[in-house]
Amino acid sequence: MRLRVKFPLFLTFILLLIICGFASPYFFTEQNVWVLLRQTTIIGIISLGMTFVIIAAGIDLSVGSTVALVSVVSVSCQIYGLPAMILAGLFVGVLVGLVNGLAVTFGRVVPFIATLATMTIAKGLALWYTNENVIFGTNDQFSKIGNGCLALGYNINIPYPVIIFIIIFIFSWLLLEKTVFGKYVRAIGGNTESARRSGVNIFFWTVIAYLYCSFLTSISGIIVSARMNTGSPSIGDGYELDAIASVVIGGTSLFGGKGKLSGTLIGILLFAVIANIMNLLNWPSFIQYTIKGVVLLAAMVFQRFSYSK
Amino acid sequence: MYDNSKNILKAKNLCKSFHNNHVLKDICFDLKFGEVHGIIGPNGAGKSSLIKLFSGVYKSDCGEILLKNKVLAFNNPHKSLKAGISVVYQELDLIPDLTVAENITLGLEKKFLNIFYSKNNECCIAEKALHKLNVTHIPLNKNIRNLSIADQQSVAIAKALSHKSKIIILDEPTAALTYKEIENLFKVINKLKNNGISFIYISHRLEEIIKICDRISVLKDGNITYSCKTSEITHDIIIEKIASKKSALIESNYNKQLTSNQNHPVLELKNLSFDGRSQSISLTLNTGEIIGLAGFAGSGRTELLNAIFGVARSCYGDIFIDGQKNKIKSPKHAIKNGIGMVPEDRKLLSIFPDTEVYENITFNGLRNFLSAKFVIKTLKRIREAALRVKKMNIVSSSLKQPISELSGGNQQKAILANWFFENLKVILLDEPTRGVDISSKNDIYSIIEEWKTKGISFIVVSSDFNELIRLCSRIFVLRDNRIIKSFENNNITEDTIIKTILGNDINEIKS
Amino acid sequence: MRFAFSCIIVLLIVLVSNYCFSAGQPFVQSNDKKVTIGVVLPPPDHPWLAENAKYAQKAASMLGGKCRLILLNSAKDSATQINEVESLLTKKVDGIVLFAIEGSPLTPICKKIKRAGIPLASVSRIINSNDYTIKVEGDNKLIGRMAAEYIGKKLRSGKVALITGVPGASDSLDRINGFKNEIKNYPNIELVASLPGHFVIEKGMSAMENILTAHPEVKAVYALSDAMALGADMAIKSRGLTNKIFIIGSDGNKEMFKRIKNDKSSCVATITYPPSMTGDAVLFIYLAIQGKGIPGTFDPLIPVSYKVRSTLITKDDIDKYQHLAF
């Protein structure tokens, strides 16, 4: 049954690529492919982390604000050098995830509400930290993380964010499929009571799931800050919805228990391609919103019918 | 190997109560090595609480449990599992989107560096466990969701084995199985028995218990009232032990016969099948008559009421109301046709706990209290509520009191008042006096009888068979979603009903 | 005979002046190559930004068939706006006009534009580096100063409040700084509050309400945009303080003009901030692409700065400027 859902999704994606190729002559150019892939990575990395949380029957609305917080904290440390910037950013982001995890387990707060609260808290902290200003970036090495490429010879240059995304994808896949973390996350989402009776430490593994999501979000925050070479507290609005939409389109159920990273990947690429082609075709913004919403709705309805057979 | 005369599990003087409700009193129970010990009893006897005590979900208020002569201090189900006790629940406790192998080995993974585990090792353990059951046709990498109930049950048992359980508690294991699958299950139980695994087998089905169990205990009203070896007992003796004594109800000597319109059927069901099954139920209800539906849990009584009220998922067959054929598609439809229903669980389905008495008691038929502009005429409502409260003898400090503060009996009376004053023809009652004290019970009986004389008909479902005998002129006995027998209420006793339910003097074939 | 001759002279003058003074003419010549200019703006939620987009399109249509315009304005934050700029690079446009949501985050991508040799105009929120061909901005410091000067002269002594825009935006900051620096010259005027209104009317209204609650003795308010000024006006009206407080805005909004003319409103003045600056930027970039250089520079390669003028408008001279209202 998994194949039955993923296969049409995959086909739709290929079909979309073909249509885009005809719609704009720039779509399949080398430059656009790299641009597209690089634009995918920001939401993409977040979506990979979000997949774990959603499989565990939770949700994380705070990712957008975490990106903003990581952005300002990491760039503000630029006088201490690149490693300090990265560590500070990761630390702050993971802290948000810890708060999320503890609130949901020990605090027994419903994930939607808990992460809604951290979303506004993180945003407020980011704005307070910079007094609502942006922080100009002066560290060129930092900027390279977001804007640089790895030269592989033969004139192929892979942007660093894309490489980071690939590494994270492989790592996440291993986690989900080959470790007890992945298995327990699926067990907790599938039937929490049953997992508890079998001896799975529900609290511990739930917190780890939220930690992993915020860890990936921090990485994404660092990449986006590097791209702008600026610490900005006003970025990140709406990222959580894009991430959740990508995960859900890929076949992961919001009720938890099942989901595959390959599905999330297709979801991410789907949205990125849609945004990209609309930019290339110069379509106004309201069409973008509408189409994203229609795609999400259609995918959900289709999934519902596939599963109810 | 093991000594099958020694006890593996012994429970001494266990008790458990919730808010002054004594669910289990002074339970003494023992289980020998390699034994299958059955527990049987009527609804509400405390079976599920007993299971939860043994499996560590509840902690006993007094007494102790000895496992291999060592006292157990459980405070969580995982400890119980580790100690060797597994439960196979009726609503199987597996994770639907994990595979068979993953479910069987959940919690047992051999970890490298505490995070990685070997899928091969997983399959190995799972295969070994299934092998012990002689069940080899189940593919290890199939999701639980896609297996049949019988196969899921085998996986649940295999899981218990892989956790090295020595005691397996089976809770109504055959409710959803076919005849052949039950045979297979018994084969498995016997095989494991010979390897030293003990079973506690809980069921309503007497023939099965007699077939598979070595000993039988009767659990009634929170007590183990009787216990003996299967070889030393017969069908009838057990039935006798299960039937309760007559409770001290005030007998009324009213006429249980039909009043007027003796032969005018207000409701007739012909070959009704619903919820995807093929029960083919037929019965007739006359005007001013009370009939009862008797049966044990899971026999389909509530489902039948739901089907009449328009709540069933799918419904085939014919329903005649006052002689006219009708298809009832929804409760709204049912009410329009003069049928009302008071469901079983009032907390869940009937009262609006944060609202006040007068609101709850006049909720149905709200349109009678609306002015032209759809504004609710509260004053009119309160007046009507006052009338009803008086009529039903409801005790409350004021009409504006929140209904959740009333006693169970008064709450139930309020809900009944909601329906009784609606000019309906047929009222369906599902456990109308559950959780109600004696005097409220009698009040309710009087009111039902009074309404009956006005020409309103009732169908009553109750686990208290004496209640049915008191109220009904006819009683239908249900089992496995079918009506197996109907009685005229002439000198029948609780015994008769229980015997019918448990007996095998039925002439339908299990398919 | 003399009559005919003077007619011909008049005709010639008319023709020549048409040639010289009609807007598009000095820019477009028949041997210009056809170009594509990409314009990136913040989303048109705010009417002033929407006007900027309109002027960009006006400029393109003035350039006639020689110029094709691509307008991208759906990015909600800086990170997404970078994506829009990148898509222009992919399409290999001939020139780019960038009105950044925030100047600093868009700086790295502009380096790429420079390396690609594409002329770039940075409008209003200027990027941090010098990687543009021309920067077009209003004089926000001057605007702030003008407002302070007007209040200083009109009020002479008393308490004054600010309703600021989007925190962190450079145009906001410049206006605030200009205002604060000038108001120091009026020692009897005290700045008691400064709350953000995010350039929108409802937030301007709630900011005003909060100011009135905390400082009921405020006599003058400078709202950094007309939209917020209108909101503040409504707040003042609902408290019945219409003639006790006066408001100054900026931008040149039609509704604001109406209220300034109307005695029953607290709005007394506004300072123009021409939304045509993006249009100007488009025209300049067109010239830069055609290699003609930008008027006022020697070499097209030298980055230049183009400041758009602002004027303070009060009830007295409002009719003169009516055509500028949008």
Secondary structure, 3-state, chain C: CHHHHHHHHHHHHHHHHHHHHCCCCCCCCCCCCCEEEEEECCCCCCHHHHHHHHHHHHHHHHCHHHEEEEEECCCCCHHHHHHHHHHHHHCCCCEEEECCCCCCCCHHHHHHHHHCCCCEEEECCCCCCCCCCEEEEECHHHHHHHHHHHHHHHHCCEEEEEEECCCCCHHHHHHHHHHHHHHCCCCCEEEEEEEECCCCHHHHHHHHHHHHHHCCCEEEEEECCHHHHHHHHHHHHHCCCCCCCEEEEEECCHHHHHHHHCCCCCEEEEEECCCCHHHHHHHHHHHHHCCCCCCCCCCCCCCEEEEECCCEEEHHHHHHHHHHCC
Interstrand relation of A157-159 and A230-231 (parallel, antiparallel or unpaired): unpaired
Q: Which amino acid is at B360?
A: N
For residues A304 and C216, give the distance between their C-alpha atoms in angstroms, rounded to a whole number: 59
Q: Which helix (H) or strand (E) holds A120?
A: helix A111-129
Determine the residue of chain A that is closest to B56 in CA distance. Answer: A197
Q: What is the pLDDT of residues C24-70, one digit of tens each?
A: 455 677 777 889 999 999 988 777 888 999 999 999 998 888 889 99
Q: Which residue has the tokens 């700086």?
A: C107
Q: Which helix (H) or strand (E) holds A171?
A: helix A160-178
Q: What angle is formed at CA B237 by the lines to CA B234 and CA B241, rounded to 5 degrees?
A: 140
Q: What is the mean pLDDT of residues B285-296?
A: 90
Q: Which chains pack against C, by 3+ Cβ pairs within 8 A?
A: A
Cα dist from A252 to A5, A220, A247, whole Å: 10, 21, 6
Q: What is the pLDDT of residues A161-212, one digit of tens each?
A: 999 999 999 999 999 988 889 999 999 999 998 888 888 889 999 999 999 9
Nearest to C77 among A32, A130, A235 (CB): A235
> B198 — phi, psi (to 5°)?
-105, 150
**Among C129, C58, C101, which residue's Cα sits nearest to residue C281?**
C58
- CB distance B246 to B74 below 8 Å: no
Q: Within an 8 Å CB–CB cutoff, is residue C78 touching chain A?
A: yes
For residues C183 and C164, give the distance between their C-alpha atoms in angstroms, rounded to a whole number: 16
Q: What angle is formed at CA C12 by the lines to CA C9 and CA C16, rounded to 5 degrees?
A: 140
Nearest to C74 among A224, A235, A288 (CB): A288
Residues of A with CB under 8 A from a CB of C: 26, 29, 31-32, 35, 39, 42, 127, 130-137, 143, 146-147, 224, 227-230, 232-238, 275-276, 279-280, 282, 284-285, 288
Q: How far is B123 from chain A (nearest CA, A)?
A: 14
pLDDT score at C294: 65
Cα dist from C249 to B207, C70, C144, C165, C267, whole Å: 91, 32, 10, 12, 8
* Average pLDDT over chain C, rounded to an integer: 85
CB contact under 8 A, C168 and A233: yes
CB contact under 8 A, C71 and A237: no
- CB distance A175 to A182 below 8 Å: yes
Q: What is the pLDDT of residues B68-79, one digit of tens each?
A: 888 887 778 888
Asked which of B168-172, C13-17, C119-123 is least confident by mean pLDDT, the reply is C13-17
With 50 as the cut, is the pLDDT of residue B252 above it? no
Residue B125 tokens read as 């353990």
With 80 as the cut, is the pLDDT of residue C20 above it? no
* Average pLDDT over chain B, rounded to an integer: 81
> B358 — phi, psi (to 5°)?
-65, -25
Specify the 3-state DSSP secondary structure of B18.
strand
Q: Which helix (H) or strand (E) holds B275?
A: none
CB contact under 8 A, B93 and A200: no
With 80 as the cut, is the pLDDT of residue B264 above it? no
**Among B145, B142, B118, B112, which residue's Cα sits nearest to residue B130?**
B142
CB contact under 8 A, A29 and C43: no
Q: What is the pLDDT of residues A285-304, one digit of tens each?
A: 678 778 888 988 888 887 77
For residues A121 and C69, give the distance between their C-alpha atoms in angstroms, rounded to a whole number: 42
For residues A53 and A209, give the distance between their C-alpha atoms in angstroms, rounded to a whole number: 6
Q: Within an 8 Å CB–CB cutoff, is residue B386 touching chain A?
A: no
DSSP state of B376: B
Quickly state the pLDDT bin for B422 (edges 50, 70, 90): confident
Q: Which of B76, B100, B106, B145 to mutate to test the interface with A (most CBs of A within 10 A)?
A: B106
Contacts of A39 in chain C (CB under 8 A): 83, 86
Nearest to A257 among B78, B97, B107 (CB): B97
Other residues' Cβ atoms within 10 Å of the Cβ of residue A306 = 16
> C263 — phi, psi (to 5°)?
-70, -25
Q: What is the mean pLDDT of residues B413-442?
A: 83
| Element counts in chain B: helices (H) and strands (E) | 17, 22
For residues C321 and A213, give the distance between their C-alpha atoms in angstroms, rounded to a whole number: 56
With 70 as the cut, is the pLDDT of residue B260 above it? no
With 60 as the cut, is the pLDDT of residue B262 above it? no
CB contact under 8 A, B95 and A187: yes
Domains identified in chain B and CATH numbers: 7-242 (3.40.50.300), 263-338+423-506 (3.40.50.300), 349-421 (no CATH)
- Residues near A254 by beta carbon (within 8 Å), at least 6 away in sequence: A54, A59, A248
Contacts of C74 in chain A (CB under 8 A): 284-285, 288
For residues C293 and C272, give the distance between their C-alpha atoms in angstroms, rounded to a whole number: 28
Nearest to A257 among B95, B111, B115 (CB): B95
Interstrand relation of B290-294 and B457-461 (parallel, antiparallel or unpaired): parallel
Nearest to A279 among C43, C84, C107 (CB): C84
Specify the 3-state DSSP secondary structure of B332.
helix
- CB distance C43 to A285 below 8 Å: yes
pLDDT score at C177: 93
Contacts of C167 in chain A (CB under 8 A): 127, 131-133
- Residues near C78 by beta carbon (within 8 Å), at least 6 away in sequence: A228, A230, A232, A234, A235, C100, C101, C102, C105, C106
Instruction: Write down the pTM of the prediction.
Output: 0.77
CB contact under 8 A, B96 and A190: yes
For residues C121 and A103, give the distance between their C-alpha atoms in angstroms, rounded to a whole number: 49
Specify the 3-state DSSP secondary structure of A100.
helix
Q: What is the pLDDT of residues B144-155, one digit of tens each?
A: 888 888 888 889
Nearest to B77 among A180, A197, A258 (CB): A197
- Distance from CA of residue C255 to its chain's centroid? 17
Residue A177 tokens read as 């499929």
CB contact under 8 A, B107 and A200: yes
- CB distance C150 to C269 below 8 Å: yes
